[in-house]
């Protein structure tokens, strides 16, 4: 265990823990866009920045989601430097997704009303990479990958491999700005990512004739668990 100070309060933290984790477990609220406890940290949105002073007096502003704690660290989550840095990050996010409600609300909280940067609307995608991380780390199918990052503003931010995608909906669930959507209608599940869209077939339950899960997801689960596909012909309530 190491002892650190957050906003003047002494707290204990596990060794090698990230600063953001420690702040959150001690109820210091830091709002972020790209951090999520289920996936590895990435340090992209820059909303989690904090001011730290090490034992030997080095002072700097760092993204807390990827910075480790160390003995005697002094963390300030709301100093002037930090707020200025966050305002700049919000302006960048606003330029990237001017229509996003989540970003607008965040901007309102920090009192940012406009951005000097050129607006480029990427259908609410802010390149936080949560979807690629969840697809690779949690689901394990690697269906989403990033392309042409920030070089060509007209290009796709992400590309989805529809053959690999199992339509599980994790990316839609985790997306902080709602850029990915999922809709079930009768026998199809329509998933929409920025600039792309795909229909997936649903499996019908033999007993109650309800469409209960995408066929590809059941095939994937069947392959992983070794259960034959006949097992998945009925929905969970009729098995």
Partner 1 sequence: MDNIGVYAARVAPKFDGLAPGHRACIGCGEALAVRIAMKAMGPNIIIANATGCMEVISSQLPATGWDVPWIHTLFENNSAVASGIESALKVLERKGKVPARGTKVVAMGGDGATSDIGFQALSGALERGHDFLYLMFDNEAYMNTGIQRSSATPWGASTTTSPAGKKSIGQKTQKKNMAAIVAAHEIPYVATACPSYPFDMMEKVKKGLAVNGPAFINVFSVCPTGWRSAVDLSVRLGRLAVQTGVFPLYEVVNGKYKITVEPSPMRPVQDYLKLQGRFRHLSENDVKEIQERTIHEYNMLKARTTC
Q: By CB under 8 A, name the binding residues for partner 1.
A: 27, 29, 36-39, 134, 138-139, 166, 168-170, 172-174, 182, 184, 208-210, 212-213, 217, 221, 236-237
- For the chain, the C-alpha Rg in angstroms (whole number) is 22
CA torsion angle for 84, 31, 140, 142 (degrees, to 10)?
-40
Q: Give 146 or 185: the residue with its C-beta nearer to partner 1.
A: 185
Query: Could you tell me the two tokens for 218?
Result: 């059941």
Q: Give 140 or 153: the residue with its C-beta nearer to partner 1.
A: 140
Shortest Å distance, C-beta 208 to partner 1: 6
C-alpha 6/C-alpha 3 separation (Å) is 10
C-alpha 130/C-alpha 170 separation (Å) is 10
Shortest Å distance, C-beta 36 to partner 1: 7
Q: Give 36 or 76: the residue with its C-beta nearer to partner 1.
A: 36
Shortest Å distance, C-beta 116 to partner 1: 28
Is residue 126 a contact partner of residue 103, using CB atoms and an 8 Å limit?
A: yes
CB-count burial class (<10 Å; 0-12, 13-18, 19+) for 44: buried
Q: Give 153 or 178: the residue with its C-beta nearer to partner 1.
A: 178
Shortest Å distance, C-beta 220 to partner 1: 9
Is residue 103 a contact partner of residue 90, using CB atoms and an 8 Å limit?
A: yes
Shortest Å distance, C-beta 221 to partner 1: 7
Query: Could you tell me the two tokens for 28?
Result: 């210091």
Query: Could you tell me the two tokens for 226?
Result: 């070794």
Q: Give 115 or 188: the residue with its C-beta nearer to partner 1.
A: 188
């Amino acid at each position: 265990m190491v002892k650190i100070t957050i906003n003047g309060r002494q707290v204990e933290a596990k060794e090698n823990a990230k600063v953001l984790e420690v702040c959150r477990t001690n109820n210091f609220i830091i709002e972020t866009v790209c951090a999520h406890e289920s996936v590895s940290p990435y340090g992209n949105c820059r909303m989690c920045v904090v001011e730290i002073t090490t034992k030997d007096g080095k002072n700097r502003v760092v993204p807390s989601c990827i910075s480790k704690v160390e003995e005697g660290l002094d963390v300030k989550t709301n100093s002037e430097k930090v707020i200025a840095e966050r305002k700049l990050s919000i302006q960048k996010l606003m330029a990237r997704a001017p229509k996003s409600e989540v970003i607008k609300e965040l901007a309102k909280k920090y009192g940012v009303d406009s951005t000097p940067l050129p607006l480029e609307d990427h259908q609410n995608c802010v390149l936080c990479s949560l979807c690629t991380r969840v697809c690779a780390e949690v689901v394990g199918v690697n269906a989403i990958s990033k392309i042409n990052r920030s070089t060509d503003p007209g290009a796709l931010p992400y590309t989805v491999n529809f053959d690999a995608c199992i339509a599980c909906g994790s990316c839609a669930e985790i997306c902080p700005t709602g850029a990915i959507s999922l809709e079930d209608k009768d026998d199809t599940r329509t998933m929409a990512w920025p600039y792309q869209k795909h229909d997936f077939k649903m499996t019908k339950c033999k007993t109650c004739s309800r469409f209960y899960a995408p066929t590809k997801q059941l095939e994937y689960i069947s392959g992983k668990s070794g259960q034959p596909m006949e097992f998945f012909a009925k929905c969970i309530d009729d098995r």
